[in-house]
Amino acid sequence: MGIIYKLLVGDFWYVGKTINSFKSRYNQHKSMCFNKNKKDYNSKKYIIMRKMGVSLKNWNDKVKYEIIFEGDNKWLYCYENLSIKLDDPWCINTLCCKIDKIEPVEVNRWGTMTKDMIKEQGKKYREEHKEQIKIYRESRKEYYKKYNEKYYNDNKKQRLEQMKKYNNNNKEQIKKNSKKYYENNKNYMCSLCKTKKLGKGDYNKHCKTKKHLKHLKNKL
């Protein structure tokens, strides 16, 4: 047996699943939210819960729940995907689960659903909630900027090693791609500065150089 449930904290909500008893999972959320030694302590849902004033003492009053589905395990992933809408600004799920192995599936509430149908449903939701999604993304812009900078700095060495490894393992392919790119972009040249043939990228850089700007100024 499996359970899909929804936790409600004010207007925020989170959808999760468990194959254990719901009571056990509910208490597990409570433990992870306030135990700094737990790996999920700084996950999105628990950070928001704490900011909303949830504490150990008021947990049962602040964190409400609904049981969305209870039944055979094989439907769990499908129900969870249909329940999570990451574009909803009140959704505090981080990721949807994968459903690659479930296509198609029979679901009483929604009929027969396939991966493409679920994707189409997500597309329709985004179309209907464009303004809401835009506001949410704007409000999170600074957060993602800092997150991306931190991730880049923390993984700089690893990324360089991966790039070096990729370049060593794909020398021939990189050489072919470079040659193809040159052939497609070799006809760019600056008649003003009487330069030789340049690639598109080089031409754009050239147009910003002091030499080019000087010639351009003299011409005008």
- The domain segmentation of the chain, as residue ranges, is 2-130, 156-185, 186-220
Q: Which pLDDT score, from 0 to 100, does residue 117 have?
A: 65
Instruction: Give percent above pLDDT 70 in the chain.
Output: 75
d(CA 77, CA 99): 6
Confidence class for position 200, pLDDT limits 50, 70, 90 = low
Q: Which pLDDT score, from 0 to 100, does residue 65 have?
A: 92
Q: What is the mean pLDDT of residues 11-23?
A: 86
* 74-83, 120-129, 194-203: range with highest mean pLDDT: 120-129
Instruction: Determine the residue type at 12.
Output: F
Q: Average pLDDT of the chain?
A: 77
Confidence class for position 209, pLDDT limits 50, 70, 90 = confident
pTM, rounded to two decimals? 0.43
* 46-50, 80-84, 129-133: range with highest mean pLDDT: 46-50
Instruction: Determine the residue type at 73.
Output: N
d(CA 125, CA 60): 32
Q: For the ranges 54-58, 89-93, 165-169, 215-219, which has the lowest average pLDDT?
A: 215-219
Q: Which pLDDT score, from 0 to 100, does residue 104 have?
A: 38
Q: Which residues contact 201 (CB under 8 A, 6 or more apart)?
A: 185
Question: Helices 76-83 and 115-128, interaxial angle, to 10°?
Answer: 10
Q: What is the mean pLDDT of residues 104-132?
A: 64
d(CA 189, CA 212): 12
Taking 90 as the threshold, does the pLDDT of residue 26 lie above it?
yes
